[in-house]
Amino acid sequence: MTETTGSTATPESGNPEGADGAAETTPADGLSRRERRRANRAAGGDGAKKPGKRAKKGLFARAAIFYRQIIAELRKVVWPSRNELIQYTTVVVTFVIVMMMVVYGVDYGFSKLSLWIFG
């Protein structure tokens, strides 16, 4: 049973790791990210809409991406073997039966107690 752990973030889902919207400075040019972005927009770059991954997609394209992502996530799931499934099911059913008996016993006890008190 090997498990693969990792980020399921996609470029469509938001900021990449480590990108937190705050203005960060780099020692190379001394400008913050916000200042570089403003300068780039003023120069005519990055301000116009670009086609590509970030472009608005149609309804069917978004639905297709959604289902592809579902299938990709289901492939990462570690499914139990038949023996493990039987064992887990047995444990759950046994626990539920025991809890039903406890609740029944408490209910029966309270009903007899109230009958004894109130006649």
pLDDT of residue 4: 55
Element (H, E) at 62: helix 59-76
Contact between 33 and 23 under an 8 Å Cβ cutoff? The reply is yes
pLDDT confidence of residue 41: 82
Measured CA to CA, the distance from residue 67 to residue 69 in angstroms comes to: 5
Half-sphere exposure for 71 (CA within 13 Å, toward CB)? 6
Q: Which residue has the higher pLDDT, 101 or 4?
A: 101
36-65: b or e for each residue (b if 16 or more CB lie within 10 Å)? eeeeeeeeeeeeeeeeeeeeeeeeeeeeee
Q: Tell whether the model's pLDDT for residue 87 goes beyond 60.
A: yes
Q: Is 0.85 surpassed by the pTM of this model? A: no
DSSP state of 78: -
Per-residue pLDDT of 31-77, as tens digits, reads 888 888 888 888 876 555 555 556 678 899 999 999 999 999 999 99
